[in-house]
Amino acid sequence: MIVGIDLGTTNSAVAYWDAGEARLVPNSLGQLVTPSAVSIDDDGELLVGLPARERQPTHPDRTATAFKRYMGTSRKLKLGRKEYAPEDLSALVLASLKRDAEVHLGGPVTGAVITVPAYFNDKQRRATRRAGELAGLKVERLINEPTAAALAFGIHQRAVEEPFLVFDLGGGTFDVSLVEMFEGIIEVRASAGDNRLGGEDFNRVLIDFAREKLAGVLPETHEGEALYEVMRDAAERARRALSEADEAPYRFVWDGREHRIAVTADAFAERAEPLIERLREPVLRSLRDGSTKVGELSEIVLVGGATRMPIVRKAVTRMFGRFPDTTVHPDHAVALGAAVQAGLKRRDADLDEVRLTDVCPFTLGVGISERDARGGRRDGIFSPIIERNTVIPASRVQRYFTMIDNQETIRLEVYQGEARHVVDNVWLGQLDIPVPRKPAGEVGVDCRFTYDTSGLLEVDVSVPETEISQQLLIYDRDDAALAANLDARREALAALKVHPRDQAANAALLARANRCYEGYLGETRDYVGSLLSHFESVLANQDPREIESARTEIARRLDEIEGEQFL
């Protein structure tokens, strides 16, 4: 079986294709979305998903989240005493989703279609592919998240070929993409975004608000991570409550004191205005890059948990002058679309006609020198050859000329990026090619860039006059090293002790009750403490039925205290 996986920064989900329909897989807690969180418990066992996220406020040193941000970098994240690469942590989440799917489907899951942000560069894509392989999955294909979302909203079943605008506001990133289907081919025509804008930033707005209201009460000097973690958790709760109500409490305990303020939806909206304003620019840029007018959009689809905020929905409606399509749950769309693609892989009859393409997420070009009007020379100017959002595979050629009389060689330095000066872009490689000695500007070289779907850039430079040509292949060396020891790393990860799957609900409840214990004072705290003691003694008795009924009862009582568990 091949599944579709949305490997998100905050949350992940897995789905499969069955009888002409994409369906989500519930995890061991019965939930359709699994937090992308990993934690090590006191016995050194690994927790993944909700139990891990519940431990974040109480055990920040033993819990890792948001590691997707660092995919494709050499940054390591600490979990207890050990350090892990972001792709290892992603692999642990993927392995947990794989297991959930196997239990649900009653058979082995061998392969997966995994989604990545449209702007992910090649390094990040390769890291994602390795994460899949480390989890024991054959990665059938990586597809862009907006493409998956558009598939979930049925772009492939539309009669009219007008683009979808996918508006995805997640936990930490904002992505806007134009996805289009033309003669059976689906393509991302343009994508833009802000990778520092998401639900977390809206949390920060509430944290700042609370700090202001509590100025003089909260220790000013306490900028520590622990306080931030506690205030962030409170903000997340208040913000979700504000998606449903006009007013919500913001409360937390710090240094043995309970702090409580009330936040109104209006106050939040006013404070969040600068963030709402930042949603506009990427939308305009994607429309510009895709040469599309708002009126030509077939659908505006909302994806990502943070689009559940009423202020975001209002802003979208205002921006486009119409209501977005919300027929698919914003938390589920990407995984469901990945499952549609997994169905395509299986050549399911219902989906026979559809093919996907990718676009180049950044511009590729060379550094050149220019003469200005006064005859002065400017070096290090970027000359784009394959522009961002070009559909790949792509091949483009550009001619460059000598600048000095009797010049003997032309040096081509290859860069990736969007800046006008090459120093601000990423250097990829260089090549020197001999040219016949002639007056400046009389000899030209043709520089051809060929970029394939797996991210390999081939540079062919030829001098038409001499028929000399040279080639440069650009790939990543660190990457080759990482790929080489994949088997050993897979074994190391597989050897980690994982908390038993059938105990996940107990672990999640324990983590939650402990968080509440630390998060309340006085009578409430004593009460939570007694619930915890009771649950621990029930667990010790090992009677599954008794455990289950105690769990349900305690969860209900915690819901009464802090509101229903989110997800």
What positions carry a catalytic annotation? 6, 68, 145, 168
2, 4, 7, 8: which one binds Mg ion (CB under 5 A): 8
DSSP 8-state class, residue 321: T
- Nearest distance in Å: CB 334, Mg ion: 6
72 binds, among Mg ion, ligand ADP, none (CB under 5 to 8 A by kind): none
CA atoms within 13 A on the CB side of 459: 25
- 330: exposed, middle or buried (C-beta count within 10 Å: 0-12, 13-18, 19+)? buried
Using the rule CB under 6 A, give the single segment among 57-65, 136-144, 210-218, 302-310 that binds ligand ADP: 302-310
Using the rule CB under 6 A, give the single segment among 75-83, 88-96, 233-241, 428-436 that binds ligand ADP: 233-241
- Nearest distance in Å: CB 457, ligand ADP: 29
> Among residues 468, 443, 473, which one has the least CA distance to residue 458?
473
Site string for Mg ion, 162-201 (x = CB under 5 A): --------x-------------------------------
DSSP 8-state class, residue 499: P
> Among residues 409, 413, 414, 449, which one has the least CA distance to residue 433?
409
What is the DSSP annotation of 440-462? TTS-EEEEEEEE-TTS-EEEEEE
- Nearest distance in Å: CB 374, ligand ADP: 51
- Nearest distance in Å: CB 73, ligand ADP: 18
> Among residues 33, 18, 36, which one has the least CA distance to residue 106?
18
Q: Are 354 and 183 in contact (CB under 8 A)?
A: no
Binding of ligand ADP at residue 308 (CB under 6 A)? yes
- Nearest distance in Å: CB 171, Mg ion: 8
Using the rule CB under 6 A, give the single segment among 108-116, 168-176, 180-188, 342-350 that binds ligand ADP: 168-176
> Among residues 173, 199, 185, which one has the least CA distance to residue 117?
173
- 522: exposed, middle or buried (C-beta count within 10 Å: 0-12, 13-18, 19+)? exposed
> Among residues 54, 353, 305, which one has the least CA distance to residue 202?
305
Residues near 396 by Cβ (< 8 Å), separated by ≥ 6? 385, 386, 390, 448, 449
332 binds, among Mg ion, ligand ADP, none (CB under 5 to 8 A by kind): none
Q: Which is nearer to ligand ADP, 424 or 564 (CB)?
A: 564
11 binds, among ligand ADP, Mg ion, none (CB under 5 to 8 A by kind): ligand ADP
240 binds, among ligand ADP, Mg ion, none (CB under 5 to 8 A by kind): ligand ADP
> Among residues 72, 510, 76, 249, which one has the least CA distance to residue 64?
76
| Strand (E) or helix (H) holding 494 | helix 486-494
Q: Which is nearer to Mg ion, 53 or 62 (CB)?
A: 53
Q: What is the largest CA-CA distance in the chain?
A: 92
Q: Which is nearer to ligand ADP, 15 or 351 (CB)?
A: 15
- Nearest distance in Å: CB 256, ligand ADP: 28
Q: Which is nearer to ligand ADP, 180 or 331 (CB)?
A: 331
Binding of ligand ADP at residue 170 (CB under 6 A)? yes
Q: Which is nearer to Mg ion, 72 or 198 (CB)?
A: 198
Site string for Mg ion, 126-165 (x = CB under 5 A): ----------------------------------------
172 binds, among Mg ion, ligand ADP, none (CB under 5 to 8 A by kind): ligand ADP
- Nearest distance in Å: CB 459, ligand ADP: 35
Closest chain position to ligand ADP (CB):
199
Give the C-alpha distances (Å, rounded to integers) separating 357 from 1, 157, 184, 230, 380.
Answer: 23, 17, 11, 43, 33
62, 104, 126, 240: which one binds ligand ADP (CB under 6 A): 240
305, 343, 367, 519: which one binds ligand ADP (CB under 6 A): 305
337 binds, among ligand ADP, Mg ion, none (CB under 5 to 8 A by kind): none
Residues near 53 by Cβ (< 8 Å), separated by ≥ 6? 35, 37, 39, 63, 65
- Nearest distance in Å: CB 546, ligand ADP: 33
Q: Are 332 and 104 in contact (CB under 8 A)?
A: no
Binding of ligand ADP at residue 4 (CB under 6 A)? no
| Strand (E) or helix (H) holding 211 | helix 199-213
- Contacts to Mg ion by CB under 5 A: 8, 170
- Contacts to ligand ADP by CB under 6 A: 8-11, 170-172, 198-200, 236, 239-240, 243, 304-306, 308-309, 331
